[in-house]
Structure 1
Amino acid sequence: MQASLDTLTQQLLEAAKRAGADRADAMAVQGTSLSIDVLKGALEHAERSEGIDIGLRVMVGDRQANVSASDISEATIAQMAERAVAMAKEAPEDPTIRQADPSRLARDWDFDALEIMDPSAEPDPAALEADALGAEAAALAVQGVSQVQSTSAGYGRTDIHMAFSNGFSGGYGRTTRAVSLAAISGKGPAMEREFNGESRIWQKDLPSSEEIGRIAGERAAARQGAKQPPTGRFPVIFDERVASSIVGHLLSAINGTSIVRGSSFLRDKLGQIVLPEQLSIVEDPHRPRATGSRPFDGEGLPTTKRAWVENGVLTGWVTDLSTAAKLGTTSTANAGRGTGSPPGPGVSNVTLTPGDISPKEMMRDIGTGLLITGLIGSTVNMNTGDYSRGASGFWVENGEIAYPVNECTVAGDLNDMLKRIIPANDAEDHKSRRVPSLLIEGLTLAGS
């Protein structure tokens, strides 16, 4: 009989203690995934995987080492602990390596309130195949679509348990159901490709496969005849599909690891204005049915709602225990971790204050400019904030879409861009990063 994840983590801790570790963290992850791919109306690929990964971090004085394995035998666990301790003794000293004070550990969390585990049964492979076939057929039914690349439908469940030598022990699970595909319009050098995919924690929340496929097809068909836009400085709307990347750059810049390294364009901006004064960025790790929700962080600390930017002002750095110690602060309970690496800081669910107007009204207001629906490549310099990315989308004239655009570059400076963002009202509630379309005036376009 296979041991429970809780039992496995306790076995890891006991093995670490016998091997000579002063302190230890153990993690066990059990995953199940099922994916079906179809192409041209027929099954192309079917895959199911199940497995358990275990990880162990040991601390010997001010030194640490991390090991992982997918074998859960007693012999492997003992060998992992011995190797980890031997590695730790050779590792460089780091006085900021630590575990949480037991008095600060999470207790009495309400996992059910997060709604990140769908209790319904795993879908039958035939149901997933039907989803994929339905999405493909709906995309091909759109006029102008010439072909559909492989269409995928999948389901996954992941269970996690962590136990630490400071007394913490806890776990949770999460599920996901998804359908995705890419549709192509035109032929030869005039081909244009567009994508649509939807994923939900609860299967009943997933849009119909026909809707997912239809949207992919309509997006591809709308791109027929794409050409380069003019070169110059213009207002740019980042569609909701790509707008979260702008906020993502800000979140990366306030990550404690970047601040410790001095590799952030916001390293000197704490307590200063970084967004328009009416905007805030709020993290809520307890938002129901959001993929980033969790009752505690990767070091056993209770997660909590907080504003990283409040009324335009940057309020703090995203930290775990180690980066907080380096910065002379306390952990913000934002530690994430995997079985093969020690903790590191990161955010969960975030929401940017929404605006009052729709993207269509936003286009009407700018008159002439670019609506970006896709971004490729990245030459974003996180030290300076210099921003330059390849883009595709639609050229806007007289407040209306004039023609599709490809092969252009949009450039600016993130320090200035963030202070000028104007949000629309189209953020999608189910997404972990709830960010609407964003208008930024005066960006540089390199086109024809």
Structure 2
Amino acid sequence: MTEPLDRLTDRLLRAARHAGAEEADAIAVRGTSLSIDIRERALEQAERAESVEVGLRVLIGGRQACVSASDVSEATLDAMAERAVAMAREAPVDPNVGLADPSQIAQAWDIAALELSDPSDEPAPSALEEDARAAEAAALESEAIFQVEASGAWSRREMHLAATNGFSGGYGRSSRSISAVAFTGSGTQMERDWAAETRIFAADLPAASDVGRLAAERALARVGSRKPPTGRFPVLYDERVAASLMSHLLSAVNGATIARGGSWLREALGQPVLPEHLSYIEDPLRPRTGSSRPFDGEGLPTRRRAIVENGILTGWTLDLATARKLKMDSTANAARSTSQPPSPSVSNTELTPGTVSRADLVAQMGTGLLVTSLMGSSINGNTGDYSRGAAGFWVEGGEISYPVNECTIAGNLREMLRSLVPANDARPHLSNRVPSLLVEGLTIAGA
């Protein structure tokens, strides 16, 4: 019989107390995953994995240590606790570490309202194979596509967190996905592109054939790619990559970065960082969204908050330790794994959408670069200087002219974010809802 996760965490906490821990928290994670890969019309790989992992953090006199294991026998848990306590006694003192006060922890939540897990049974491997084959067949409808790599996947994950301050809670997640990568051309003229869809509920997935056709369309659009001209031009980040631009803002307002003094936004609290009509909202309680959670990695109740409101930076992303160091309150943004202590991290975010389509922004930009793929990065965390490899399409006269690759786009994030013009094409099911974004005056290094 499978042991409930809350019993595992209780066993770990008892072992920690017995070993001499003053405070402790424990996390247990159980997961199952299944994936089917198709290549050249043949089954390439079928994989199923099951795992249970446990993690323990102990605190003694302002010192902490974390240990983890994938064996949940009594002997292993006892050894984990003894090892963690011994490590903690040798760790440096940090006055900011510690569990939440009991008055801070989440007391009740409606996990059903978040709809984080599909209650249907684990799909048969044949169902995932059918998805992958349908995606492959649709992509191969074009004779110019010579190869497709397609996959169907499913997973379910449960976690439980408990601590000596009285907190105890857990929840589960599920995921079903279809993906395809299509190839066209040959030699140095070979091009590839992809499409993928993931949902919590299998019934919400689009048709696998639609995924395959989109991958093929995107790959075929890359044929004939060449370098764009060098110069200073507007750049339009396609919705597929626009969230990466906002991720740099999230990194800059992360409490751990602020506490180290290494952020280009460290002096920007209460100042404009986006156009005044834009807000950037985190909502961990958004139903039917993959990153939603009722409590954070330290047991604090999560809530909707504005990271940026009407263009103004309103606060940092904080867990308990960084909040104490900065003499602020936690924003209930702690995340943790079985092997690492809590650290600040956001869940679901959304940037205010625009009122025009991506096509409207293409027309508005006149001449410039539409970016659909990014690679590599050079970001100066102290100054916000930005440089990334890119590929996409060159725009002339407000219309897409030809595909481009092997170019670099560069600018400064502070200036880039202040000039954002959003489209209205953010996909509602994504955890990070960011539409296509037009940025003025970046330096493009191409031909």
TM-score of the aligned structures, taking structure 1 as reference length: 0.99
For residue 2 of structure 1, report the CA deviation from its aligned partner: 3.1
**C-alpha distance in 2 between matches for 1:49 and 1:383:** 42
Match status 1:430 vs 2:429:
yes
Deviation digits for residues 293-346 of structure 1, max 9, x if unmatched? 000000000000000000000000000000000101010000000100100000
Give the aligned length. Answer: 447
Partner of 1:29: 29
One-letter amino acid of the counterpart of residue 220, structure 1: A
Match status 1:83 vs 2:83:
yes
For residue 141 of structure 1, report the CA deviation from its aligned partner: 1.1
Match of 1:102, SS state, is: coil
**1:341-420 mapped onto 2 (5 Å cutoff):** 341-420=340-419
**1:295-306 mapped onto 2 (5 Å cutoff):** 295-306=294-305
**C-alpha distance in 1 between matches for 2:427 and 2:216:** 21
**C-alpha distance in 1 between matches for 2:11 and 2:147:** 53
Partner of 1:170: 169
Deviation digits for residues 152-196 of structure 1, max 9, x if unmatched? 110000000010000000000000001112111111110111111
Deviation digits for residues 223-249 of structure 1, max 9, x if unmatched? 100011110011110000000011100
For residue 17 of structure 1, report the CA deviation from its aligned partner: 0.2
Partner of 2:135: 135
One-letter amino acid of the counterpart of residue 74, structure 2: E
Partner of 2:45: 45
**C-alpha distance in 2 between matches for 1:2 and 1:388:** 50
Partner of 1:153: 152
**1:216-365 mapped onto 2 (5 Å cutoff):** 216-365=215-364
Structure 1, unaligned runs of 5 or more = none
One-letter amino acid of the counterpart of residue 112, structure 2: D
Partner of 1:55: 55
Partner of 1:99: 99
**C-alpha distance in 2 between matches for 1:440 and 1:144:** 34
Deviation digits for residues 347-378 of structure 1, max 9, x if unmatched? 01000000000000111111111100000001
Percent identity of paired positions between Structure 1 and Structure 2: 61
Match of 1:213, SS state, is: helix
Runs of 4+ aligned structure 1 residues displaced above 4 Å come to none
**C-alpha distance in 1 between matches for 2:366 and 2:51:** 54
For residue 143 of structure 1, report the CA deviation from its aligned partner: 4.3
One-letter amino acid of the counterpart of residue 141, structure 1: E
**C-alpha distance in 1 between matches for 2:104 and 2:322:** 17
Partner of 1:122: 122
Partner of 1:189: 188
TM-score of the aligned structures, taking structure 2 as reference length: 0.99
Given that 1:58 and 1:64 are in contact with CA atoms closer than 8 Å, whether structure 2 keeps it comes out as yes
Given that 1:238 and 1:437 are in contact with CA atoms closer than 8 Å, whether structure 2 keeps it comes out as yes
Aligned-residue CA RMSD (Å)? 0.7
Match of 1:11, SS state, is: helix
Of 380-389 and 69-78, more deviation after overlay is shown by 380-389
One-letter amino acid of the counterpart of residue 253, structure 2: I
Match status 1:444 vs 2:443:
yes
Match of 2:120, SS state, is: coil
Given that 1:284 and 1:349 are in contact with CA atoms closer than 8 Å, whether structure 2 keeps it comes out as yes
**C-alpha distance in 2 between matches for 1:115 and 1:382:** 37
Deviation digits for residues 180-213 of structure 1, max 9, x if unmatched? 1211111111011111111111111111110000
One-letter amino acid of the counterpart of residue 161, structure 1: H
Given that 2:39 and 2:147 are in contact with CA atoms closer than 8 Å, whether structure 1 keeps it comes out as no
Of 192-201 and 429-438, more deviation after overlay is shown by 192-201
One-letter amino acid of the counterpart of residue 207, structure 1: P
**1:191-210 mapped onto 2 (5 Å cutoff):** 191-210=190-209
Structure 2, unaligned runs of 5 or more = none
